[in-house]
Amino acid sequence: MTHTFGYVYKFVYRIRRPGLDVEDVKMGTQMLIRSIQMSNLADDYWRLHSKRQITSSSPLSSLSPFIDSIGVMRVGGRLQNSSLDYNAQHPVILPRKHPVTRAIILDLHRKNLHSGPRALLASMRLQFWPIGGRKTVSAATSKCIICFRAKPQLAQHLMADLPKDRVNATSTFMVTGLDFCGPFCYKTGVRSKMPVKTYVCVFICYATKAIHLELVQDLSTQAFFGALKRFILTRGKPARIWSDNATNFVGAKNELAELRSLFLSGPHIRAIEEFCLEDSIEWQNPADLEVLTPAHFLGTFPLVLYSEPDVTNLNFNRLDRWQRIAYLQQIFWSRWREEYLTLLQQRSKWRTSKPALQVNDVVLVQNDNLPPLKWPLARVMELVPGSDGVARVAVIRTATATTRRAVRKLYVLPKQDLVESPGLPTGGECSVMPQPN
């Protein structure tokens, strides 16, 4: 743009010197800025041009602007006695929303190695003074792809309602969620041996938020089965287990025969796997009446509970010992429904929906093993809405495959504004000046 107006400057003033030099580019840029000021800041420009005072409501009233010898409006300011050069003492004023202002900001943004808005504004004010200051600079740099990839921002959607398993009373660990955390390093007894990585399998009760921890040597499927066995022998057999789509959990579907042996309840128990929409796996086990087995004594409660009659409306002093235990359990779950569940009404985060993900959006796919600048790009092919109509899962196409990912792992790249060139006048004739030999 500056080189183009360098040629415009030579054409207007009929400079026959071949090529461009620094002075041509400088004067052409000033010609461009002067025309922008005359059209976008017309009221203030012509008031100053006619030696009148600008209005107090003008955004330039605090800058004491003036027009220099070549017709460019500059900041008057209070730094005339400083050691700064002339351009820093009296920077050129730029309008708030103009393609040229945005182009100048982005050019300095790249030259300053994608610095932040505050540092960029300080560097820019050594030559230019954009109206709006930091807001104008932030609006121009907010759609920089490189800056976004270095610090991606998640597309926010409304927090979903709690699932059925979270809001209904069940026995402890009857419905369980599990995940791995780590790695943690520990040193063996051998002094010269390197520390060994280990992990912790976390089991969380959906109803009571009770936590059970199991130490796991690695991330293999066999190690997970060992942790699951120890959990079942300690806490009892859960009716449903929820997990994410990790490799060691998915590998379990190929070893269902070994999984059936964990439940110790005969061949009539079936293990059912269902892949859920949000990249999670649900392990279901229908509860049937069963005979007494050693598993009843290894757990903290029977694998199948008998439904006790409601005794909360009876006089506590008339109850026998077992009825009193049932009374205390029923009172506990009654208070759980009335006092605990009401605390879960509010949404702690994701309270409002930002612009939703759309088909054909280009996104960054989060990869915890890579820095953000190396996250792969993908295009959204399809959105999978939930029961409330909010899409929390998307079908994406990467450079190698098509897969499903949770929306919380996708970062939408900012859309670039397309600036249309104004229409050029038609008619007339422009002759090419002959170049000197």
Q: Tell me 277's DSSP state.
A: T
Give the domain 164-306 fold: Nucleotidyltransferase; domain 5 (3.30.420)
Report d(CA 322, CA 365) in Å as an integer.
56
**Which pLDDT tens digit goes with each residue over 82-111?**
999 999 999 999 998 899 999 999 999 999
> What is the enclosing helix (H) or strand (E) of 192?
none
Q: Which CATH architecture has domain 152-159+350-417?
A: Roll (2.30)
Contacts of 414 by beta carbon, 8 Å cutoff, 6+ apart: 142, 143, 144, 145, 148
Report d(CA 281, CA 394) in Å as an integer.
17
Report d(CA 143, CA 114) in Å as an integer.
12
Contact call for residues 361 and 347 (beta carbons, < 8 A) = no
Burial 366-377 (b: 16+ CB within 10 A, else e): beeeeeeeebee
Tokens (6 digits) for 99: 């393609």
Q: Domain ranges in the chain?
A: 2-142, 152-159+350-417, 164-306, 308-346
Percentage of the chain exceeding pLDDT 70: 81
Q: Which residues of the chain have pLDDT under 70?
A: 250-251, 253-307, 353-355, 416-437
Q: What is the pTM of this model?
A: 0.60
The reported pLDDT for the residue numbered 291 is 54
The reported pLDDT for the residue numbered 243 is 85
Contacts of 171 by beta carbon, 8 Å cutoff, 6+ apart: 207, 236, 301, 305
DSSP, collapsed to helix, strand or coil, labels residue 166 as helix
DSSP, collapsed to helix, strand or coil, labels residue 40 as helix
**Which pLDDT tens digit goes with each residue over 25-64?**
999 999 999 999 999 999 999 999 998 988 888 889 899 9
